[in-house]
Amino acid sequence: MPELPEVETVRRGLAVRMEGRRISRVDQYRPDLRFAMPERLPQRLVGRRVLAMGRRGKYLLANLDDGQVLVLHLGMSGRLLLRQQRLADYRVGTHDHLIIEVEDGGEDGSGSKDTWIVVFNDARRFGQVDLVPADALEQCRGIAALGPEPLDPSFTGAVLGAALAGRRTPIKAALLDQQIVAGIGNIYACESLFRAGISPRRSAATVVGARAERLAGAIRGVLTEAIAAGGSSLRDYVQTDGELGYFQHAWAVYDKEGQPCPGCSCGSDSAGLGGPGGPGIRRIVQGGRSTFYCPWRQR
């Protein structure tokens, strides 16, 4: 579920409390998630200062003061909780796998330190935790094969079209390929194609020229609006339960099977053209995954 907008919202929430602070304690409750976590991870993290929180695609990056980068991926069920408390006072919950405690130096003069914990909870354990030198980040598993950042100015229709050239796979499947463009998952693939008016079944190779420009613009728009929705629906990006990055969003087509199309109104009684009815939002399965789209509006 966490795609680029959710991960970006998490990044912003973490940045407020982690940047500039020192890691004072790390508890690790299992040796692996999807892959083995780094050896001696807690020892290698404690004492480090977090310089900046970054993001690449769906990967969270914590730049540390020793030149290493802590790489986090939330998989599909990964969650991060942020709480103002000491780790010693936290009651560990089911599926909590890694907890990082950070504190400031007590610079406010009160003598007491401001302490926060970040809890990595992942029921399905599809997540990933790595610790790599900053200059080797591009070789890191998962990050090495990432395509362009869709919100970077360099991501244009021409770039997208070039990446899609020669691909016979459906455009929906191509958008899920992180090598084509980084950060898009099932939800935003569906939403972007809807906004661009492109059928998810269309061959990726035919998405070139003006059509690729339209899709690139739709991707940028959908992601940007989702990030804005995340920021505005959360207080300091943190919900009352401390959870970061999950928020309600009014999807146009995702999980809307059988409902009227918000674009052309097909599937509702007031639909024009063919009279009442029309297909409305359909659900099909591509590559074993649900795709939601409007057969009338998307060609």
Partner DNA sequence: CTTGGGTCCTGTGCGC
Partner DNA sequence: TGCGCACAGGACCCAA
Catalytic pick among 34, 44, 214, 289: 289
Do 168 and 82 form a contact (C-beta atoms < 8 A)? Answer: no
Note whether 141 binds DNA by CB under 7 A.
Answer: yes
Q: Which residue lies nearer to DNA by CB, 7 or 271?
A: 7
| Burial profile 121-160: b = 16 or more Cβ within 10 angstroms, e = fewer | bbeeeebbbbbbeeeebeebebbeebbbbbbeeebbbebb
2 is catalytic: yes
Sequence-ordered list of residues with C-beta below 8 angstroms from that of 260, at least 6 positions apart, any chain: 266, 267, 268, 271, 280, 281
Q: Which residue lies nearer to DNA by CB, 46 or 76?
A: 76
Note whether 166 binds DNA by CB under 7 A.
Answer: yes
Note whether 168 binds DNA by CB under 7 A.
Answer: yes
295 is catalytic: no
Out of 15, 52, 123, 208, the only residue in the binding site for DNA (CB under 7 A) is 123
Stretch that binds DNA, among 68-76, 130-138, 232-240, 259-267 (CB under 7 A): 68-76
Catalytic pick among 3, 101, 191, 243: 3
Do 238 and 244 form a contact (C-beta atoms < 8 A)? Answer: yes
Out of 178, 192, 265, 298, the only residue in the binding site for DNA (CB under 7 A) is 178
State the number of binding residues for DNA (CB under 7 A).
Answer: 35
168 is catalytic: no
Stretch that binds DNA, among 38-46, 69-77, 131-139, 192-200 (CB under 7 A): 69-77
Do 296 and 278 form a contact (C-beta atoms < 8 A)? Answer: yes
Residue 139 corresponds to which amino acid?
Q
150 is catalytic: no
Note whether 202 binds DNA by CB under 7 A.
Answer: no
Stretch that binds DNA, among 102-110, 180-188, 218-226, 267-275 (CB under 7 A): 180-188
Sequence-ordered list of residues with C-beta below 8 angstroms from that of 235, at least 6 positions apart, any chain: none
Out of 63, 115, 121, 186, the only residue in the binding site for DNA (CB under 7 A) is 186
Note whether 229 binds DNA by CB under 7 A.
Answer: no
Note whether 282 binds DNA by CB under 7 A.
Answer: no
Residues 73-92 that bind DNA (CB under 7 A): 73, 75-77
Catalytic pick among 48, 58, 79, 83: 58
Q: How far is the CB of 167 from DNA (least distance, A)?
A: 4
Residues 29-48 that bind DNA (CB under 7 A): 34
Strand-strand pairing, 128-133 and 115-122: unpaired
Torsion of CA 275, 279, 280, 283, to 10 degrees: 180
Give the span between the Cα atoms of 67 and 26, in whole angstroms: 19
Stretch that binds DNA, among 81-89, 149-157, 240-248, 282-290 (CB under 7 A): 282-290
Question: Active-site positions?
Answer: 2-3, 58, 289
Residues in touch with DNA (CB under 7 A): 1-3, 34, 57-59, 73, 75-77, 94-95, 123-126, 141-142, 145, 166-169, 173, 176, 178, 185-187, 204, 287-290
